[in-house]
Chains A and B, each alone.
Chain A
């Protein structure tokens, strides 16, 4: 076994090129948390600009096919790009774009040539930011029960309904969604998958007031919204994968969202936490010299390491094209539950300093306060922890009569 990604000379020279480019093109302090709405918008615009520059080089979506505006790069080069972005506390793309990341995968599998040519290049080149619209007030864990209705009308579909927990701050250019296209059809065979312009008449976006917005990995979204559809007319080309085939189309990205792709990367929270504990004094000595703190840090570290190893394993399974079963939802479940548990562990270990963003009495950038909120929030998006357990059970072969195969990650 070899747990280390080893680099060829060619990769190392690519790294040199990437690092030099990033140094020249990534604005200073881009990863620093904005403090005001103005700073936040400014930061978003800078990130989008960086995304377009990365897109020109094929580095915004390095693994995506070159034919459709991606980098067409292999895993070896993608790893270098992700590591170099990670070094600067960034992800690729450098802005919240879960719609592009997940939707792109589905379009590649299910889209017609025309749809691929039309929808994919703007995403991969960083010209548009894309949101995913799945959850509804009446369809959360039971996603197949969506009631937003898309009715065929001539060459168009007309959409009516409501989606919640959508997107991010600062708006989107494109959206994709699943909607019911046959109110009397059988479950899983009555939904369709649409990719559309986010600014069509009849679409209204309203921010939700939430405790936090932490999603699963990637860039924090900053905000979640309710999106209303009032007789929104979309051309039929928006339909990807055929009418009433939307559940299959969605399965492609749901597997990705459930951790099926795996992950390499630093544990930024841990790095900040251990630095904080080494440099913060209690009773005249650093927190790391108190036995109770050390014991709790050991528990936190161990859970983080197991999460890392599950991510590494899934990454390897994906890229070595090994058969997968329950590993995707297992990673997701483990990460979610570790994060939730950690809110209590950190609160117990560090006290009220973990609850304030105050510059004097809280943690740098309020990173602990953010974890207190987002460790709870992150249990839900992309399938709740309980749903991950349901998926695991099916794939282990105990949930349903027939063992269910894992989805495919392309």
Chain B
């Protein structure tokens, strides 16, 4: 047993942290809140250059083939910002979906671009019914000769506006899991993306209006194998979103501890009041619950153990944790916490957004129970 990061992982952690301090200080992150893509082009280029976009892509497709735990180190640090942008959508879920579902040719076509940052992927799972299981996939392509014809809307698509290509999950048969994956170039005719306004962060609508796709757009080249491949990609990708949430919890924890040590009311630091301490303890417990369920899920995946139940648990716990951590932080901070400039709000907004991305806690707990064979 050894629960420490390796030396290389520690080094990566330090590197990402200093990148974040240099390139994404608080003012930059607050300024990004209003942006469509959630990042500045310079950051994306740097991320590509230092290899962060290819961490999960094998060498032969232009990546560095790191472990999930390696990538989690990166994502925890990004989550501390939280630095938005399609890091997870493209370099994790997108890349893993292509790896799981694509033909050799499709992998060669798509993955090197992902690692270089030139191709930005997103995966559109949810239809307007917003359910994360295969039963919720209702968009059905029609055929025009060899080609597929797509019509309709995919909703709550993460980083839809930033994506150059969206992997659209569609129904191609009557069986529950008769689902296929089609790669849609967002610059193609009939494709429109739109950022959803409001408290939600960087989730979009993908409108498809008679979009014609060649047969080669079908990942894997065969229909109905999409769900198995996607599920496999989701199993590996989910703990990295959890790691991002852990990073968010950690940042919110540090912010709250510091504030409670320095904010003076009634003649003393507010951290001396047990009511305030209780908020921070609640926050700490959520943070560590998220951290250790996530770490164990990553370890199971990296070491080839059955991990499905652990992954579902980690997502349920981390999503609740991030949301609750932000709630506790708002109680500690009171008024100042609601100021956009202060830096807590961006976490609050992200915690709410990620609560549902890849499925909410209730959904994951039910899948966990199934995976445990009760």
Interface residues of A (CB under 8 A from B): 1-6, 274, 277-278, 288, 294-295, 297-299, 301-302, 305-306, 309-310, 312-313, 315-316, 320, 322, 326, 330, 333-334, 389-390, 392-393, 396-400
Contact = CB atoms under 8 A, between A and B. Distances in A.
- The binding surface of chain A is classed by DSSP as helix
Contacts of B289: 306, 309
A215 to B, nearest CB: 22
Given A393-B280, A398-B261, A1 B3 contact: yes
A299 B1 contact: no
Contact of B366 (A295, A310, A326): A295
28 contacts: A1-B69, A2-B2, A2-B3, A2-B299, A3-B300, A6-B1, A277-B374, A297-B374, A298-B365, A299-B365, A302-B313, A302-B317, A302-B368, A306-B292, A306-B293, A312-B3, A313-B288, A326-B284, A333-B281, A392-B281, A392-B284, A396-B257, A398-B257, A398-B269, A398-B276, A398-B277, A399-B271, A399-B272
Contacts of A313: 3, 288, 292
Contacts of A299: 365
A277 B2 CA distance: 35
Shortest beta-carbon contacts, A-B, top 9: A398-B271, A393-B277, A298-B365, A309-B292, A288-B374, A306-B289, A316-B3, A2-B2, A294-B369
Nearest to A299: B365
B277 A1 contact: no
Contacts of A294: 366, 369, 374
Interface string B268-292: 0101101011101100110011001
Given A297-B374, A397-B257, A305 B280 contact: no
Interface of B: 1-5, 69, 257, 260-261, 269, 271-272, 274, 276-278, 280-281, 284-285, 288-289, 292-293, 295-296, 298-300, 303, 313, 316-317, 362, 365-366, 368-369, 372, 374
A398 B374 contact: no
A254 to B, nearest CB: 19
A332 B239 CA distance: 27
Contacts of A295: 362, 365-366, 369
A1 B296 CA distance: 8
Contacts of A3: 1, 3, 295-296, 299-300
Contacts of B1: 2-6, 312, 315-316
Nearest to A305: B313
Counting chain A CB atoms within 10 Å of each CB, which of B5, B281, B284 scores highest? B281
Nearest to B271: A398
A326 to B, nearest CB: 7
A53 B4 CA distance: 38
B88 to A, nearest CB: 21
